[in-house]
Structure 1
């Protein structure tokens, strides 16, 4: 992915009222800034408006920015995107950073750093916004170890954390009470890689933030949450101190408005409030929905299957995984309908109303067919189907990245069994930094395909059972008829 991605934003967002006062560092800087009292310098803001774009420095992680199924996404990306639209400018994105380099880039280039940065008021050359999100440090450890329930256990463990994230400072404060405590910090790793080190028994434990664990726990089942460590920190945006305070003030006003209107809490909940949506639903619940919801859409799935050549039960399984057969389902990122089509995909498919079940099912089936047809001819059989389903979830670009990783690791990029081992590596900086499309929540398509296969198996079993039941009924005599039943063959047979 190019280091700078210019993303043209919608310019006409409703103007929103303002956020509380400036953060502590900004307020202090305002009191000391040369010039007219109460009139902050606006050089940086004027430059942004003149050039018509806002420069964002960030990291390629699930909490900040990544290329998702519907395009660019991530908690802080979403907020900065809205802020740029609020200013009436486009957004220029640099995502090839770690925490320290984000701050360096803000000092040298501006305009804004948004990368799960801990609010550090005394940091040289940087002004921070007001707090955006509470960051609660937690200890996580490998499942199967003796429970890690307090700080007294940490000194005997191999422990890791991310440099610059704020968790290192929490550990340094803890060391005053536990002098033998040691740990390793890394600027190059990200949270998913720390969790992988724990699963691989190269670390016993790590200190990360609560919301980061919730986002990643599905993909690292051998990692257990331990206990909260220290007081919560605050996530904030960083601005260059030399650029003036007007941009920070605009950001604070904007963030306060989001908070006052409840929009900030809604964005937080959409990204961090639901960490179990991919978990496999029990067979009993699924069967209940096959009786309560599926009959309404069965013929639509059958018709879509006739048009695209898929098994209708497979399309139904995809629909259940996407929306639980809810035609009005809407994701926080704007994917909608029973088959959860993005707006651009719906437009390409000629779907005018994503909430219309007939259009959604037809569009989703044609999109899956298109993805399957676009895959290289070398991918055959079920491997081709499973990779098409994975692309439906994560996008073709990320699937191709995983295939290249598979090949680099000595696997077969045409086999789903090998590619599914590589997809979760897109969560790790060591691997996604080498790819074209960067970070992806690569564990999701693995679970996604697994779930659809299970749902399809259940639907196929139910369908076979019903057919056998109907055949059996067809052979039984009508109880209203009064005649004898011969249980032995008639003469001559």
Structure 2
């Protein structure tokens, strides 16, 4: 799959020239100045940067607002820095990325560990630290040191750097053994721990943090070995020009604080879908919902939904906070993207009335656009999933459900297929590629749970009001006459 993501607005050369005049030479300031290498000249001549990458949550994937991911954000900004467009080839595993860089260039950005020993490649300055960690299946005795790993079935991924750490540890602990896989991603590896195929796995701490919500059976163990460094790879036989520019760009990002902000936005949270307890939710029902109750009811009348369902969506999106902003830039009580708000005529996403009515109309449009063959609750649950992950990824999951012998018109089978969008074996067969497919599963589950609680609270209130209407005017809430 060739994912070509062209930035259609040509970047102005004068902006690039200004930046170059202001910036230093990056890491390679101790070497004499050289003219730009042939690869940099080629990139500027053809007017686009060709990046070899992977479809993963830490690198690049299709999100609610289009292409996203930590390294995608860096790639896009680097192309802007050069004044060229961006083209991505994401049809790779890590070994494929490295080979493509050697063979085709221009650079590889795919959660690559800096490794100066690799032939035919050179690496940029370090971008972020990568700390390997040992994670294990819940129920096993918690491992706390290397000696506790003896006898465990451990897995890791080839060419990621975690395998290198394991080989280094084996030099000190000859009994240490593990399995390596080169055809899966981290989510699939954690799935093998969760289902009992493996007892434990070695991954990077950031990767585990991004995936742990979907694998509650997998526990954090302890850190292994020394931290590695995430870096970009370049072909070593094509000159230093592009590498120099990348180092200057990365240094600028670090000095300005933007690199740290991007790290926090994309990698600094376990997941923005916080699963809160029922007690907290009911507290918010009493404290926050009354402010927006009438708006949800009005939007429900206009859209044909149960007001309690819309309120449940609003709570899942923002906890009924009208000024909420997600790490990916969606805003407001119903967390609309800027593009979706524009299509719905919402000019102020932070206005609760506009947001609630806009969210209701958007959910209605998603439900109406689904195939007629999807009916009943299945249709509602798929519309809710599309609100979270996008209609394109939902259709991909329906196709995967059908490929696996399931019914693409039932939520149960589509729900089981959605997490497969995190696994390379499956998302490589889809139109829209990688998605954090576990999120819409949890998203729909939470909304159903909140809806059930709201329905219970609403029934209780109605029963209370009916009881109060039958009481004599002097009775208290228990129905007894006042004392004294």
> Would the TM-score normalized by the shorter structure come out above 0.5?
yes
CA distance in 1, matches of 2:321, 2:145: 44
Offset, 1:450: 0.7
Task: Identify if the C-alpha distance between structure 1 residues 48 and 115 changes in structure 2 by more than 3 Å, giving closer, same or farther.
Answer: same
**Alpha-carbon deviation of 1:288?**
2.1
The answer as to whether partners of 2:36 and 2:242 remain within 8 angstroms in 1 is no
- Distance across 1 between alignment mates of 2:439 and 2:393: 12
Change (3 A) 1:20 1:203: farther
Conserved in 1, the CA contact under 8 Å of 2:161 and 2:228? yes
Partner of 2:217: 222
Q: 1:161-200 counterparts in 2 under 5 A? A: 161-200=156-195
**1:143 match:** 138
* In structure 2, C-alpha distance between the alignment counterparts of 1:9 and 1:79, rounded to whole Å: 17
Whether contact under 8 Å (1:126, 1:239) holds in the other structure is: yes
- The alpha-carbon distance between structure 1 residues 457 and 10, as it changes in their structure 2 partners (threshold 3 A), is farther
The Cα of 1:283 is off from its aligned counterpart by 1.8
Asked if residue 320 in structure 1 is aligned to residue 315 in structure 2, the reply is yes
Give the drift of 1:293. Answer: 2.1
The equivalent residue for 2:439 is 444
Paired residue for 1:21, among 16, 21, 26? 26
Once structures 1 and 2 are overlaid, which stretch shifts more, 343-352 or 53-62? Answer: 343-352
Once the two structures are superposed, the pairs formed by residues 126-275 of structure 1 within 5 Å of their partners are: 126-275=121-270
Answer whether contact 2:11 2:83 (CA < 8 A) is retained: yes
TM-score norm. by structure 1 comes to 0.91
Deviations, residues 9-57 of structure 1 (Å, cap 9, x unaligned): 68478976648832xxx67xx85xxxxx322533222222222221111
Q: Is the 8 A contact 1:175 1:181 kept in 2?
A: yes
1:357-396 equivalent positions in 2, closer than 5 A = 357-396=352-391
Q: Secondary structure at the match of 1:164?
A: coil
Give deviations 1:396-425, integer Å, cap 9, x for gaps.
111111111111222221111121111111
Structure 1: unaligned runs, 5 residues or longer: 32-36, 486-493
Corresponding residue number in structure 2 for 1:459: 454
- SS at 1:243 equivalent: coil
Structure-2 separation of matches of 1:446 and 1:20 = 47
Name 1:489's counterpart in structure 2.
none
SS in structure 2 of the partner of residue 332 of structure 1: coil
- Distance in 2 (alpha carbons) for counterparts of 1:20 and 1:38: 9
Higher mean C-alpha displacement, 445-454 vs 346-355: 346-355
Deviation of 1:445 after TM superposition, in Å, equals 0.3
Deviation for aligned residue 1:320: 1.0
User: In 1, Cα distance between the equivalents of 2:144 and 2:88?
Assistant: 40
Q: Distance in 2 between matches of 1:344 and 1:45?
A: 35
- Measured in 1, the distance between the counterparts of 2:225 and 2:145 equals 11
CA distance in 2, matches of 1:303, 1:293: 17
Q: Do 1:65 and 1:76's aligned partners in 2 also have CA atoms closer than 8 Å?
A: yes
Structure 2 residue 70 is the aligned partner of structure 1 residue 75: yes
Task: Report the equivalent of 1:94.
Answer: 89
2:441 and 2:10 mapped to 1: Cα distance?
33
Q: Deviations over 1:109-164 (max 9, x none)?
A: 22121100001123222221111111000111111112222112334122211111
- Aligned ranges 1:430-441 → 2 under 5 Å: 430-441=425-436
Classify the secondary structure of the residue corresponding to 2:339. Answer: helix
Does structure 1 retain, via aligned residues, the 8 Å contact 2:272–2:326? no
Aligned residue in 1 for 2:395: 400
Give the corresponding residue for 1:6. Answer: 6
| Per-residue deviation, 1:209 | 0.3
Between the aligned partners of 2:125 and 2:435, the Cα distance in structure 1 is 29
TM-align CA RMSD = 2.1
Distance 1:343 1:240 in 2: 39
Q: Distance in 2 between matches of 1:416 and 1:465?
A: 30
Contact 2:210 2:271 in 1 (8 A): no
Equivalent in the alignment of 1:490: none
Q: Is the 8 A contact 2:2 2:90 kept in 1?
A: no
Query: Which of the numbers 300, 307, 314 marks the counterpart of 1:305?
Result: 300
Q: Secondary structure at the match of 1:326?
A: coil
SS at match of 2:335: coil
Whether the aligned pair in 2 keeps the contact of 1:270 and 1:332 (CA below 8 Å) is yes
Structure 1 residues 41-89: Cα deviation after superposition (integer angstroms, max 9, x where no partner):
3322222222222111111111111111221111111111122122222
Cα distance in 2 for partners of 1:329, 1:261 equals 26
Measured in 1, the distance between the counterparts of 2:274 and 2:344 equals 30
Instruction: Tell me the distance in 2 between the aligned counterparts of 1:357 and 1:243.
Output: 55
SS at match of 2:233: strand
Q: Secondary structure at the match of 2:6?
A: strand
Is 1:58–2:63 an aligned residue pair? no
Distance in structure 2 (CA, Å) of the matches to 1:183 and 1:476: 72
1:118 to 113, 116, 119: 113
Give the Cα separation in 1 of the matches to 2:204 and 2:137: 16
